[in-house]
Amino acid sequence: MSLLQNRPPVGPLHRHISLRPDAQPLPDVAGMVQTLRPEEPLHCIRPAVISTHARAFTAAFNGDALYAVKCNPEPAVLRALWEGGIRHFDCASISEVTLVRRLFPGADIHFMHPVKSRRAIREAWIINGVRDFVLDSADELQKILEETGRDEAAAVAARPGLFVRLALPETGAAINLSKKFGADVETAAALLRAARPHAGRLGVAFHVGSQCTNPQAWGEAMALAGEVIRAAGVRVDVIDVGGGFPTAYPDIAPPPLGAFMAEIDAAFARLNLPGVKLWAEPGRALVAGGASVVVQVQLRKGGMLYINDGVYGALGDAGALGFRFPVRLLRHTPRLGAPDEMFGFFGPSCDSLDVMRGPFILPGDVAEGDWIEIGQLGAYGTCLRTGFNGFDRAALAEVSDGAMLQTAGYEPEDL
């Protein structure tokens, strides 16, 4: 008997629910809850919303859009993105690479994690046909060249695309990604010079940070990228403006999509780099509105509701980051209702850190047995679930509902 056993991943969810023959319309959330009366979390995917957002982004962006798979790798989500026109995928692990290649044999896959294992590079290159890799250090560059067969003595039959990740100053984003990844201007310029002789295509990449609501951040980052390119003195083929494009939350109404695209286009024009292409890596902006989770209230203590999902499930961002999400009450039994009040949530685990302060605005008559739909969870919801305390049971269904909140520039009436 082997001493090593592979632990199966918690996600994607494999317990799918369907209440319809294939020819029938998708159900709505409220009707599904009243039919199923679920006692475990129910994840509701809105494929039409996801496809619409994908079409809006690809139409507005003057380049190639690479969906950031880490944001939500659920196959139902990926298929909706494909339906919306996404053909490029930003992968951060060999598992993501394998998933995308299995679902979409003709997809363009880009390995955009700045630190990769040698085995992951080899498998991506040899088995999955991945040709683009990001880096932010000389050691990572050497690793990529060695594992793709590209050292100084190698032939030039197949050369990897090499992308140098640039660190940025603070942008005011909800999560600063340059604290972990990215090279400073001098190092990035040196890496471009070192990579150019080996690169099938050469690029500069950056990320302004997750949920960045300031369009000017992209313009400032583009200017810094231009500074690096001039300092390097070599030809580049691509500028990857990364992700960070925001979505709406109850206390956040970001500028419309067009404001971000106008800033990117203007900054790119100022660089005057004919022949250079633009890439972007949207994640949250494409899928956040495309999913929700229905939870059940198990106990009420004053203004705190004990629910059957929490920070170790799909609600991690509501805990540590304090994100507020749109909510609506689906009553277990008919009642007249009551004025809205502010509530916090406790998750199902025994950990006292399993708390989401909100506040979440719900009718004051919310009671044990009621369901609450929590929206805008298509990004970093399902994929962050753990098996902690054994609370890893959940189901997934595709529904016809619209997004619980709209982000300007992504909805059909904005197109």
Rg, the chain, Cα only? 23
Q: Is residue 12 part of a domain?
A: no
For range 304-326, the mean pLDDT: 91
For range 177-196, the mean pLDDT: 91
Q: Which of 266, 287, 308 is the last residue of a domain?
A: 287
Which of the four pLDDT bands, split at 50, 70 and 90, describes residue 57?
very high
For range 115-134, the mean pLDDT: 96
Reply yes or no on whether the pLDDT at 15 is more than 90. Answer: no
Residues 261 and 325 in one domain: no
> What's the CA gap between 176 and 208, in Å, rounded?
7
**Single-letter amino acid code for the residue at 123:** E
CATH number at residue 217: 3.20.20.10
- CA-based end-to-end distance of the chain: 59
Helix (H) or strand (E) holding 360: strand 355-363
Q: For 150-162, how does the pLDDT look when each residue is reduced to its tens digit (9 = 90+)?
A: 544 444 458 999 9
Number of structural domains in the chain: 2
Q: For 222-278, how does the pLDDT look when each residue is reduced to its tens digit (9 = 90+)?
A: 999 999 999 999 999 999 999 999 999 898 889 999 999 999 999 999 999 999 999
Supply the range of the domain harboring residue 332. 26-45+289-398
Residue 27 preceded by cis peptide, ω within 30 = no
Q: Which of 227, 258, 287 is the last residue of a domain?
A: 287
Which range, of 64-78, 83-97, 142-156, 171-185, averages the lowest pLDDT? 142-156
* φ, ψ at 173 (rounded to 5°): -70, 160
Residues 319 and 390 in one domain: yes
Rounded to 5 degrees, what angle do the CA atoms 380, 382, 387 make?
Answer: 115
Q: For 70-90, how does the pLDDT look when each residue is reduced to its tens digit (9 = 90+)?
A: 999 999 999 999 999 999 999
Strand ranges (DSSP E) for 112-245?
Answer: 132-135, 161-166, 201-206, 238-240
CATH number at residue 391: 2.40.37.10
Residues 38 and 141 in one domain: no
pTM score: 0.91
Distances (CA, A) of 274 to 128, 269, 366: 31, 9, 60
Q: Given CA atoms 270, 274, 276, 282 in this order, what sign does their dihedral have? A: positive
Residues 179 and 110 in one domain: yes
> What's the CA gap between 167 and 184, in Å, rounded?
6
> What's the CA gap between 279 and 54, in Å, rounded?
15
Q: Is residue 234 part of a domain?
A: yes
Cβ-Cβ contacts under 8 Å for 268 (sequence gap 6 or more) = 62, 222, 239, 278
